């Protein structure tokens, strides 16, 4: 079960310290499986000492090499609710450094998610009122659910408001399918308004214009 963002932020703000080096432990997202015995950690986060100068970490390389003949070390680790932690084997310096829980980014993600939910909930009623805002938001939110973004593109095409064109043109799409749908929505919106885009300056002009009034280019 995924932890709620409020819960994740609460953990990230808890202060725990390493008994070996006295540095504050980093709150990290736990890997899905316990390295070694294949069991889950029973927690989605763990507090880990990521100090490379921590004596436990710095001095364990040699011990592992001597005892087991392979390159590994230990970091001090504590699970939420535990009074004392324990050493956890790591294969390198960078293990866990990529999964530090950053409260600020969790906050941003949950804010984004709330906006997505709100836009998705308003999408159909806004479409009926010819309000492009939720549809446009979904089409431009790369992290939103693909199905809602597709529906957003359909709604934009159906509403036919020229105001959706600039924001789409100014957006760098990461999902090529959505980009394709957004471009086809633009074509439909232009057609519905008897407009076309000038191939030279991208300004919108009347379909029957022979010359672009913005840049002077001759048009077909
Ligand atoms: Zn330490
Ligand atoms: Zn032009």
Nearest to 138 by CA among 123, 128, 159, 158: 123
Same domain, 46 and 119: no
Does residue 137 have a pLDDT over 60? yes
Q: Evaluate whether residue 216 is within a structural domain.
A: no
Q: In angstroms, what is the span from residue 203 Cα to ligand 2's centroid?
A: 6
- pLDDT tens, residue by residue, 83-92: 999 999 998 8
Q: Evaluate whether residue 160 is within a structural domain.
A: yes
Nearest to 55 by CA among 91, 97, 22: 22
Chain centroid, CA 32 distance in Å: 19
Q: Which ligand is nearest to the CA of 196?
A: 2
Average pLDDT over residues 130-138: 97
Q: In angstroms, what is the span from residue 212 Cα to ligand 2's centroid?
A: 5
Give the pLDDT of residue 44.
84
Q: In angstroms, what is the span from residue 87 Cα to ligand 1's centroid?
A: 10
Q: Which ligand is nearest to the CA of 75?
A: 1
Same domain, 173 and 132: yes
Q: Evaluate whether residue 149 is within a structural domain.
A: yes
Same domain, 89 and 120: no
Query: What does the chain come to in residues?
Result: 220
Q: In angstroms, what is the span from residue 57 Cα to ligand 2's centroid?
A: 64
Same domain, 83 and 159: no
Q: Which ligand is nearest to the CA of 47?
A: 1
Same domain, 15 and 84: yes
Does residue 179 have a pLDDT over 90? yes
Token pair of 75, please? 């970091």
Nearest to 182 by CA among 193, 171, 194, 195: 171
Q: In angstroms, what is the span from residue 156 Cα to ligand 2's centroid?
A: 24
Token pair of 158, please? 């159906």
Which of these ranges, 15-19, 63-67, 130-134, has the smallest mean pLDDT? 63-67
Q: Evaluate whether residue 147 is within a structural domain.
A: yes
Domain extent, residue 150, equals 113-194
Average pLDDT over residues 167-189: 97
pTM assigned to the model = 0.69
């Amino acid at each position: 079960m995924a932890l709620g963002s409020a819960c994740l932020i609460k953990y990230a703000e808890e202060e725990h310290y390493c008994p070996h080096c006295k540095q504050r432990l980093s709150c990290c997202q736990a890997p899905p499986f316990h390295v070694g015995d294949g069991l889950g950690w029973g927690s989605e986060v763990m507090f880990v000492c990521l100090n490379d100068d921590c004596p436990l970490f710095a001095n364990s390389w040699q011990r592992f090499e001597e005892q087991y003949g392979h390159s590994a070390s230990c970091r001090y680790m504590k699970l939420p609710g535990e009074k004392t932690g324990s050493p956890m084997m790591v294969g390198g310096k960078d293990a866990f450094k990529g999964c530090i829980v950053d409260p600020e980014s969790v906050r941003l993600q949950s804010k984004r998610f709330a906006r997505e939910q709100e836009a998705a909930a308003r999408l159909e009623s806004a479409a009926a009122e010819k309000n492009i805002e939720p549809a446009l938001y979904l089409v431009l939110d790369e992290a939103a659910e693909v199905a809602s973004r597709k529906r957003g593109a359909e709604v934009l095409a159906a509403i036919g408001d020229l105001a959706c064109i600039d924001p789409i043109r100014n957006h760098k799409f990461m999902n090529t399918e959505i980009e394709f749908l957004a471009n086809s929505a633009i074509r439909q919106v232009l057609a519905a308004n008897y407009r076309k885009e000038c191939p030279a300056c991208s300004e919108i002009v009347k379909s029957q214009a022979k010359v672009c009034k913005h840049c002077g280019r001759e048009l077909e």
